[in-house]
Amino acid sequence: MIALYILGGILLFTVLLCLLPVGIRIKYDNDFSLFVSIGFINIRVIPAKQKKIRVSDYSERKLERQRKRQQKKDAEKERKNTAGTKKEKKDSVLAARLKNLDTAPDMIEQLYDMLSFVSDKFAKRLTVRFFQLDAIIGSDNAAKTAIIYGGACSAAGCISAFLDQHMSLKKRNEASIRITPDFLSEKTVVYADVSMTVRVGGIFTFIFEIRNVISEIYKLLQEDNSNG
């Protein structure tokens, strides 16, 4: 009976873990910020939290230990350089095929197919919570501004199609994309705020579905003497 309780507890924990949401929030307003959330825990990744300066960090004993560690690292680096033990790095299969003009087109096409497959599988498990993008396009030349504005509008159309597919109906009013040209401004101003979530269980199934792609990429990254 105790074994059944233990098994039930493990199954319950596994189910709850798979339902746990993992979120990413990206903000840009002159400075780039990245936040990661796991359940109710929010962590600021960029910019990193500034470490508090304490007087104890600059004690004579700590400074002496740091100086000795640095001296040891410098001595080890110098020893390796003077010993001439550095081996010539071989090209991986991927690098060799990309350098070879005969195999490069097929390799690029293969990488594109892999990336498309991976992004499609991941996007199906992704939920966009909110999306805001405001851009005022400007440059030092009016014609250049018009070209950049046209490219930005095309990109906005692709983003809008993605949001229509991956945002729920009740959340679509939280999606905002505004792109305007400013022919008097000499630089582009961008503000962005994006929040996305994915379930832990979705990450596990995603990794399982792309296992063949991971295996293929691993093989391509293996060192090899051949040139494709």
Q: Is the pLDDT confidence value at 121 over 80?
A: yes
* Percent of the chain clearing pLDDT 70 (strictly above): 84
pLDDT at 196: 86
> How many other CB atoms are found less than 10 A from the CB of residue 133?
20
Does residue 30 come out as left (phi exceeding 0), alpha (psi in the -120 to 50 range) or beta?
A: left
pLDDT band at 227; cut points 50, 70, 90 = very low
Per-residue pLDDT averaged across 115-143, rounded? 85
pLDDT at 173: 62
Nearest residue to 24 via CA among 157, 122, 170: 122
- Residue 202's Cβ-count burial label (10 Å; 0-12, 13-18, 19+) is buried
Q: Which of 54-68, 83-97, 121-135 has the highest mean pLDDT?
A: 121-135
Per-residue pLDDT averaged across 45-55, rounded? 69
The pTM assigned to this predicted structure is 0.62
Better-predicted residue by pLDDT, 171 or 125: 125
CB within 8 Å of 11: residues ≥ 6 apart: none
Better-predicted residue by pLDDT, 49 or 138: 138
Better-predicted residue by pLDDT, 59 or 10: 10
- Residue 66's Cβ-count burial label (10 Å; 0-12, 13-18, 19+) is exposed
Are 228 and 45 in contact, with CB atoms under 8 Å apart? Answer: no
SS3 of residue 84 by DSSP: coil
pLDDT band at 169; cut points 50, 70, 90 = low
**pLDDT tens for each residue of 69-106:** 888 888 887 777 766 555 556 778 888 888 888 888 88
